[in-house]
Structure 1
């Protein structure tokens, strides 16, 4: 049996306090307590290494993301005052400036009377049972640790039955070009990761020190290699390295395994667990978050969401996902499996403005009937992209290869592909990478609410990125203020009619113009009617040529 890692170096960055959880019986419930401010905190923006890792700061620096007060930990004096009331403090949240406590109704009244408490929310739990639905296919062939350590370039047969889910995106081509996620860190949020430390397909994570951290936010313990099998299956679609049986889409990446989901119930506490895991991932320096979790309806007495709440701004977990993206992490979430059920639409946090929501297709690239669809309540196209989710292959805790359905598998297959693609394009921001994936989609010409921008393809990204297009005369003024936006097009772009789109950071079209050849003999002036301050993407198409340019409106 391979021993579990302790991950002591990352415990510094956990939003966890020393007091242990108390009795959960009787009237005691978990509550989210929001603070009024961070006044008097001993932490400062000038000394970020006290609460963020060097990797987290480097990610921000690469994407020109400044530190703000939201990054500061909560005021320890406020936490001490909470404890003085007798409540149990479980966690604190930097981004929400809040604490998770466990207390009775009487103790809650005392908490709400404290001068620095802004508001509270009850987070309920009820025990049930849940299982992973799947069909066993075959046993995984053992792989030697020595072979895994060197990562020889895999051949088509090395992917085994899982080859198609990699080939559909061109992940195998990425691997052939030397990009397998190496140097990237993926944080996986799920319901548990049992037997990961024992399976040959994951041996390289331990032997090469690619498992960088683990935490169970449900039980408040460092070991997340427990509980529900769903996380193990999800992880395998990205991280597995078992040549001849299965190879994941980012087998060379580093991983953080974080349990946020209690598979036995569905309550708001799991949204808070998601938030806390995202803060952990940020602090530990993750580049990508993969979450095969979605929230719509909850067990009583928790209050469920409605479709109108899927507007990108309402649900707790959606707001958490957008805050995670604001730190420069690429947040990849499954769209949901409600397409053929009463709910039908994407779930939270797939409705978030700044995430990559992934739907499911079958082996022929057709939308899976169960895959949730859009639009969001405020009219945005969702999902963003799709990957194989009907008849996807994954590994079970018993070591067998299995086949099953769900956007739960489409999401991580895409997340691994995105991490490997980001390795190949290290100077892209997370939002630019989302746009890169969208613009390389099979349905990018006419995105819809069934499959979004379609199936991204590695070969198509090679012509969708200005730096790779090798056309020095393609240029747009940046930044822009009140003056018109000036677009310069070289002769290679003028052989056919040119279509120009301007998209905001969420992918919403704010401007479109068709340009005939005769109109393009001189620099073009683009004048969108209304543009707020922020990041915009200008997509240019001429025949099969596609490029996306970035500019900022001041």
Structure 2
């Protein structure tokens, strides 16, 4: 995971995120007429485009490099390959006639309120539009699960080698792992076998495209365990505002006017924030009052995002969470300490690999279904994307666009 460390990065992040939190708070409180007033052409255009595209999305304009297009020294470590398999549609069949869409009430309410001003434009692409209300547009085909028969066909190509990692209803695609046969003695044999499997998958009914995801670009990213330098902490510092001692937090928060926001009642209450990061040490004393409403470890597919004390995976995620959610008067106050938090462990500290995008997309869909208002992810995938690749056509960009179209603010 690439983590940006600049002297003003945390302050800028907090300031921008607070603006998003304030926006979300106002949006939650606003009535339909005020939402109509904040409508803008860009939002409406995006919503219309997303509805028109429906599930027939081609998330890539180009193939990502094959995992075998690398030096010989790197080839020797390849024992599996991750692929995105995209499908053409979500047609129901007799064996796939029952679908369950898992959205909580908060997600439905957010969608309904924040897409209200786009409903008039969306009606133009539906028949019998006059009979539809805003509620008819809250759930769309992006939410419909992938046809399980399509997935089963992919796995059946060779169930001993193929397994499903993640599925994205939004992209109508699955991320699969193809394990390379250990009985194959040479890399050329492995590459030939993989090509055969990919060809068979591509020829399956209802398969739109197969993307081979590079697995070889990685970098070390040192993360030190959570420690505090005594030289940076002044235990005697007191900064009282309305009876609350902001202590060490006062200077950084006052620089970006968060103290004033708190004074005016904007502390994040009623807003749900999703953090996508490395992991979170929730037992830290400053986070004992943090309102965590859900969490998931997408790396290990468990419900626990905290590692053991001293685990480097905890570090960066805890930094971000504490800047937002900490509430320990006399030591530290976060920018949005009254918000609700969803925690997603999606980033691997020790290396940078494209499969982290799978985790990101899965976490984004999960958070949206849980009613998130704001998403923050302080990371960048610049190991395998170049400037000329930043066209908005990648799977992760498509997922962010869809989330935005559903009323989520993604930062």
> SS at 1:204's partner residue?
coil
For 1:81 and 1:160, the matched residues in 2 are separated by 59
Contact 1:192 1:231 in 2 (8 A): yes
Q: Quote the residue 1:78 is aligned against.
A: 150
Match for residue 165 of structure 2?
90
Q: 1:225 to 1:179 in 2, by over 3 A?
A: same
Greater fraction of residues in helix? 2
1:77 and 1:115, CA in 2 relative to 1: closer, same or farther beyond 3 A? same
Is contact 1:123–1:267 with CA below 8 Å preserved after alignment? no
Q: Which among 282, 295, 300 is matched to residue 381 of structure 2?
A: 295
Structure 1: 5+ residue runs without aligned partners?
1-24, 143-152, 299-303, 333-554
Residues 1:99 and 2:174 aligned together? yes
Note if 1:131 corresponds to 2:218: no
Aligned to 1:69: 141
Instruction: Give the SS at the match of 1:91.
Output: strand
The separation in 2 between residues aligned to 1:160 and 1:317, in whole angstroms, is 39
Q: Which residue of 1 aligns with 2:292?
A: 211
In structure 2, the residue matched to 1:163 is 250
Q: How much does 1:180 deviate?
A: 0.9
**Quick check: 1:109 aligned with 2:161?**
no
Deviations 1:230-288 (A, max 9, x none): 11111111001111111111001111110111122222212222111110111111010
Q: CA deviation at 1:199?
A: 1.1
Separation of aligned partners in 2, 1:109 and 1:223: 38
Shift of 1:99: 0.4
In structure 1, how many angstroms separate the alpha carbons of the residues matched to 2:97 and 2:104? Answer: 14
Say which SS state the counterpart of residue 57 (structure 1) adopts: helix
Matched, 1:250 2:336: yes
Aligned equivalent of 1:20: none
Q: How far apart, CA to CA, are the structure 1 residues paired with 2:150 and 2:394?
A: 26
Quote the Cα distance in structure 2 between the aligned partners of 1:317 and 1:68. 20
Show CA shifts across 1:28-50 (max 9, x none): 21111111111117579xx9x73
- Structure scoring higher RCO (CA < 8 A, sep ≥ 6) equals 2
Q: Which residue does the alignment assign to 1:235? A: 321
Do the aligned partners of 1:51 and 1:72 also contact (CA within 8 Å) in 2?
no
Summarize the alignment of residues 125-204 of structure 1 with structure 2, pairs less than 5 Å apart: 125=215, 129-132=220-223, 136-138=228-230, 155=242, 158-193=245-280, 195-196=281-282, 198-204=283-289
Counterpart in the other structure of 1:309: 389
Tell me, yes or no, if the aligned pair for 1:141 and 1:245 is still in contact at 8 Å.
no
SS in 2 for 1:50: coil
Find the counterpart in structure 2 of residue 399 from structure 1.
Answer: none
How far did 1:122 drift?
Answer: 2.2
Do the aligned partners of residues 141 and 273 (structure 1) sit closer, same or farther apart at CA in structure 2, a change above 3 Å counting?
farther
TM-score (norm 2): 0.63
* Counterparts of 2:199 and 2:302, CA distance in 1: 29
CA change 1:219–1:123 in 2 (3 A) is farther
Cα deviation code 1:482-537 (max 9, x no counterpart): xxxxxxxxxxxxxxxxxxxxxxxxxxxxxxxxxxxxxxxxxxxxxxxxxxxxxxxx
2: CA distance, partners of 1:329 / 1:318: 14
Consecutive unaligned residues of structure 2, counting only runs of 5 or more, are 1-76, 117-136, 181-193, 308-312
> Match of 1:109, SS?
helix
- Look up the match of 1:318: 397
Map of 1:5 onto structure 2: none
Instruction: Return the alpha-carbon distance in structure 1 between the equivalents of residues 335 and 109 of structure 2.
Output: 25
Aligned counterpart in structure 1 of residue 82 of structure 2, from 8, 30, 33? 30
Residue 331 (str. 1) matches residue 406 (str. 2):
no
2:302 corresponds to: 221
Conservation of the 8 A alpha-carbon contact between 1:33 and 1:117: yes
For the residue of structure 2 that corresponds to 1:308, the secondary structure is helix
Q: Equivalent residue of 1:229, what SS? A: helix
Give the superposed CA RMSD: 2.8
Q: In structure 2, what is the Cα distance between the partners aligned to 1:96 and 1:282?
A: 14
1:154–1:283 distance in 2 versus 1, CA, 3 Å: farther
TM superposition score normalised by structure 1 = 0.47
Distance in structure 2 (CA, Å) of the matches to 1:327 and 1:247: 31
Matched-pair contact (CA < 8 Å) for 2:101–2:144: no
Larger strand proportion of the pair = 1
Q: 2:106 aligns with which of 55, 61, 64?
A: 55
